[in-house]
Structure 1
């Protein structure tokens, strides 16, 4: 007997299978008495039932797929709503911060602090600071020690003097580099691991290089923002290759992303350079002559490999999409910052890229959500509402423990630490228990 196949019937005369849907058109078969008849009817109900069963299975499968897709969509919406709600709660907590501790770096010169950086390395918190007198200080706090108390009582040690104002401090891996500003700018190499190498000072062997405004260290590559150009040192330790990127304007801001280098200049122009290409001309990106002319770029920061945060001397803060460098319209703007002529107005973001902090010319720190942009987050009880007596020269957010963020700010000779999201009454209750 021919094999019964779902959805098909066997034609004895033609010795082949046909679809059940063509049964009404199938040829008649001569019976034993010469009369014509259809193929044996006992196949038909069975094949039909199989076809019906398959159709029902397909319908059930389709319904289940639709239900799963619907549930996935609802789950995604719930997750998105939950994340948005959690972010709003975090914003509310951070903006209501009311606990801040202040200390002075023990400086025998009593100069203003101009640069600050802290990093967790080898189970310790390493902090570095530089002042207007050119002194470079370090502090190491062991795991479990109180950072604020340690900084207040002792621990800051003058390491070296570069003779002129410390203009930047940057850290990558186990190396810290500090630069000085002036006609004879210097570069201080300071190892976090004192057993690995000695402290040393170098210069760029080019008389045209002076006034190091800023620096960025990624791996072993150091980029300096100087007068009318950026200087790229491929290996900061060995100074193997030095390249000069001409910008025709003082470089106030630099940022690196693998082989790509971004510069922000006094002229208000952001340029993009590819270190793999011999040409040093670079490309102007996000350039709008109506808004960038004489609006110096003071800070650059890269997010998620495709977003660039810029700050300008007019107080403007904006996020641009690096995938569309000719688009002059930012994807997000942060309004309300105040500045008009100060080039040293620092910005900082938390390690999870949720919040943006910026120092204004009015000596206040403002806070924004990096998800929504717009005006700054405010609260009448927040310590961020109170202005400092001296300009704010450095900002950094450090995650000292999982989920515990601290904002460090320098003003004058003082170092201030904000325990983000913590209120004074919470601190008092914690100390009582």
Structure 2
């Protein structure tokens, strides 16, 4: 007779023991879990700042644990990841956002941060200045670093935190930024809306400071029913002497040229995009040299690193590559003609397909155009930005919400990376890339602000921080020298980022996502 074993039964036919499923006879009954307490059930409320901080700390702790076990490069069942990159993504997914009081309608069109020299009674000093442009034509200067050190006159604008929301006590670890100062004598109204602010000469993480940097700002106005757009130059090489009795902008801003057309955009190399094409302006004489003519407005443009090639983003969705070295002076410039064919998806539905020679299948441009590098996006091109670390790569966005990364050498092969989720239908929304080219930031027509990983295209942050569209974005360069993508900026203790600025009709916002 087989011996009885607790928890098993004997099968005579198979001559073996099998475990008894369920509780073992005679053993203590398993403790049943208490029913969930309906009072302790979490309510569907806005995320508490403390919960967000705790989640981030938990995820960071897990990353630290993985790093200790696997080193800098960690291999999981799904992919190989870099610890530092994953840590920064975690930080970026929970940014801090503040809104400054008393800044409504001064920064909803253009933004540009710069470092300038100021003459004070105690001598010459450097300070960080934010230049803002509004759709109402306002142009304003704000001191954003060490407020009160260089100026003792102006209006202090206090920051209010808008994300994460504060429910009760201030969240642990949240550090409030300082005030910013609206300078007396630092505001002026332009003849029409400020269409662009381009700053050059700032220290860049990819350009060493060799002592020959020229700091300057280019400000353009859109134009109105009574007058065309204008190009204005602000030389920042000389120290500025501020006085509350005078308007320093009005006295130092130089009007370079006036146009009889709309100026949509500009680059700091003094090339402008208009509703007639693109041109270069001579700062000394004000003469205009046209290098590209088209009937479709040039809404955005970007000069490449060589200084010879300009990407022009058109209202009809075309991205055209133009050589600026061939140009002609005067409105009626004699430039080479080109016909650019529309893709089949953009041919108007009303077109009679039998009329194969119809001009509706192509449009004409004039200039030194690289035909092999022309592509189309789904809608009007609203913003362009090159990548300094990655050579011929550039970002482009269109008014249907598309945002894509392209390789200028292989444009016909399509986008290298796409960034999904942005919302747009007709607004000229700007986007910005952080100084170390890890993240992309943009506002949307649904009033949400979104942040993506540049490399993976994954959306890291999506929240509504304003009740109006954040149409202007600026992520200024940091004051580092000789930094390259190969530098381990986190491991070397140099992981210092800069805050991004966003502007809407409601006011000026500051976003901080990593240290």
Q: TM-score, normalised by structure 1?
A: 0.67
Q: What aligned pairs does 1:47-66 form with structure 2 within 5 A after superposition?
A: none
Q: Work out whether residues 162 and 186 of structure 1, in 8 Å CA contact, stay in contact via their aligned partners in 2.
A: no
- Choose 1 or 2 for highest CA Rg: 1
Q: What aligned pairs does 1:23-422 form with structure 2 within 5 A after superposition?
A: 81=74, 84-97=82-95, 99-104=96-101, 113-122=108-117, 123-141=126-144, 151-152=179-180, 154-155=182-183, 157-173=185-201, 174-182=215-223, 183-195=227-239, 198-204=252-258, 207=260, 210-217=261-268, 221-233=269-281, 235-239=282-286, 242-257=289-304, 258-278=307-327, 279=335, 280-284=367-371, 287=374, 292=378, 295-303=379-387, 304-327=390-413, 329-342=414-427, 344-373=428-457, 375-378=458-461, 384-398=462-476, 403-421=496-514
* Secondary structure of 1:398 counterpart: coil
For 1:351 and 1:275, the matched residues in 2 are separated by 27
Cα deviations by residue, 1:320-366 (Å, 9 ceiling, x for unpaired): 11112332x21111111111222x21100111101001111111111
Cα RMSD between the aligned structures? 3.0
| CA positional deviation for 1:277 | 3.3
Tell me how many residue pairs correspond in the alignment.
Answer: 325
For 2:385 and 2:107, the matched residues in 1 are separated by 25
Q: Work out whether residues 362 and 387 of structure 1, in 8 Å CA contact, stay in contact via their aligned partners in 2.
A: no
Give 5+ residue unaligned stretches, structure 1: 1-76, 379-383, 423-433
Q: TM-score, normalised by structure 2?
A: 0.57
* Secondary structure of 1:392 counterpart: coil
| CA positional deviation for 1:118 | 0.6
The alpha-carbon distance between structure 1 residues 201 and 338, as it changes in their structure 2 partners (threshold 3 A), is same
Give 5+ residue unaligned stretches, structure 2: 1-69, 75-79, 118-125, 150-156, 160-176, 202-214, 241-250, 328-334, 336-366, 480-493
The alpha-carbon distance between structure 1 residues 391 and 302, as it changes in their structure 2 partners (threshold 3 A), is same
